Structures are given as structure tokens and as C-alpha cells.
Amino acid sequence: MNEQQIRQALRLYLVMGSPNCGGADPVRVLEAAIAGGITMFQFREKGAGALQGQARLALGARLRRLCAQHGIPFIVDDDERLALELAADGIHIGQEDAPAAAVRERLPQMIVGVSAHDPAEASAAMAAGADYLGVGPQYATRTKLDAREVRGPAMIARMREAGIRLPLVGIGGIDAGNCGAVIRAGADGVAVVSAITEARSPQEAAARLLGACL
């Protein structure tokens, strides 16, 4: 994917694993979210009750297939080996994960997303060859227990002012009511977990988010 295609794919990015689905079948949740208009998906099987080993691989393979059927880029959180096993389109890594430059070198064909919390981390990720940045938490989140302090959309504006032109997505506590502020600050899109996975109708929630952040 070229830079413009990545920018477009970041518009409404669902990040999810089975622990986020409150007992619902993650395959059904993803199907509904795709019907609602998500444009990118990240398999993030993390937190209490997360699947391990073969069960994780099997779920990842089902979600991967669903994304391929609908032309949705499929990204894996953290795990390079899993990304290769699932023939993912990309990987997302954070500041505590493997160094971005090493991942870029090992996985030259993949989209590499990197979490950045300030302009210095954003420039370092850009220099390391990142394809996009995830910037957060934008707002308070209950989904990631080890999240850093809230940055707010102002951090995205600061990165843009500092000359960071990479495709960029906001993440953390984003819903249909606040996603517009994230886009207006300079993001190409929003990444969400609970606003879709915990909604009574993930399809309607995705459609509402898409409408609100266009």
C-alpha cells in the first residue's frame, strides 16, 4: 500500500481481540464492524482471558480471512511471528516493543505502525521507517490498563506543527462524540476498541463513528 492508501485505510481503524468482546464471538463482532464501514483492523489479543498458542492462532486466522474477503488491511499487535504466520498486511509496535528500525528491516513487505506519545518519538519512528503513527491516549481509556497519561488532540496538532507528515491515527477513549476533534487536530483517522466492541450494535456504532469523523 502506498502512503495515500494507508492514510485512507486509517480513517476508522478497529483494534480488537477476544477479551474486548464481552463474551460475544469476535468473528461476529468483526463482521458487524465491517458491515458498519471500518477501514482497517488490528488483531490485539491482550488482557485478562486472552487466548494463547493454537487458540490465538486459530482466531487470528479466522479474523484474517474475514478481512481479506472484504479488502480490509489486517494488522497484528506486537508479535512479529504471529504477523508472519497469519500473512498479515502489517504489524503495530509500541515504545516498549522491538525497535521500529529492526522490525522495518525484518518485515520489509509489511505496513509498520508505531505508537508515539510526543514529537520526539514521532520523529524517531519516522526515521526508523514507520508507515504510520498511533498517537494516544487521546482521552481516558478503560481498555488499556498500562496506558500513559492522556495526551489529547493537542498532541496531534503539536506533531503536525513539528513537521510530522506521516499518516497518523488517534487512539484511546475515542467515540462518535469526540472523534471530530481528533481529525480536526490533524489525524488521518481514529482507532477504537470499546466504542465498537462494547456497543449494543457494533455495526451501527461503526457507521456512526464513520459518519462523525469524515
Ligand X SMILES: Cc1ncc(COP(=O)(O)OP(=O)(O)O)c(N)n1
Q: Which residues, in sequence order, are bridge partners of residue 14?
A: 41, 192
- Residue 64 binding result from ligand X, ligand TZP, Mg ion, none, given CB thresholds of 5 to 8 Å by partner type: none
- Residue 34 binding result from Mg ion, ligand TZP, ligand X, none, given CB thresholds of 5 to 8 Å by partner type: none
CA-to-CA distance for 15 and 58, rounded, in angstroms?
18
Q: Which is nearer to ligand TZP, 141 or 203 (CB)?
A: 141
**Is residue 182 near ligand TZP by the rule CB under 6 A?**
no
Q: Least CB distance from residue 172 to ligand TZP, whole Å?
A: 3
**Is residue 60 near Mg ion by the rule CB under 5 A?**
no
Q: Establish whether 182 is an annotated binding residue.
A: no
Q: Establish whether 42 is an annotated binding residue.
A: yes
Q: Which residues, in sequence order, are bridge partners of residue 92?
A: 77, 113
Asked about 144 being catalytic, the answer comes back as: yes
- Of 51-59, 116-124, 140-148, 179-187, which part binds ligand TZP (CB under 6 A)? 140-148
CA-to-CA distance for 51 and 45, rounded, in angstroms?
7
156-162, Cβ contacts within 8 angstroms, sequence gap of 24 or more: 156/182, 156/185, 156/186, 156/187, 157/185, 157/186, 158/118, 158/119, 159/116, 159/118, 159/119, 159/122, 159/133, 159/135, 159/186, 160/185, 160/186, 162/119, 162/122, 162/123
Q: Least CB distance from residue 40 to ligand X, whole Å?
A: 9
- Of 81-89, 119-127, 142-150, 154-162, which part binds ligand TZP (CB under 6 A)? 142-150
Question: Using CB under 6 A, which of 35, 147, 150, 157 touches ligand TZP?
Answer: 147
CA-to-CA distance for 122 and 125, rounded, in angstroms?
5
**Is residue 206 near ligand TZP by the rule CB under 6 A?**
no
Q: Establish whether 60 is an annotated binding residue.
A: no
The contacts of residue 94 (CB under 8 Å, 6+ apart) are 78, 114, 115
Asked about 44 being catalytic, the answer comes back as: yes
For residues 104 and 124, is the Cβ–Cβ distance under 8 A?
no
Q: Which is nearer to ligand X, 34 or 76 (CB)?
A: 76
**Is residue 78 near Mg ion by the rule CB under 5 A?**
yes
Interface ranges with Mg ion (CB under 5 A): 78, 94, 97
Interface ranges with ligand TZP (CB under 6 A): 15, 136-137, 141, 143-144, 147, 171-174, 192-195
Binding-site annotation: residue ranges: 42-46, 77-78, 97, 115, 141-144, 173, 193-194
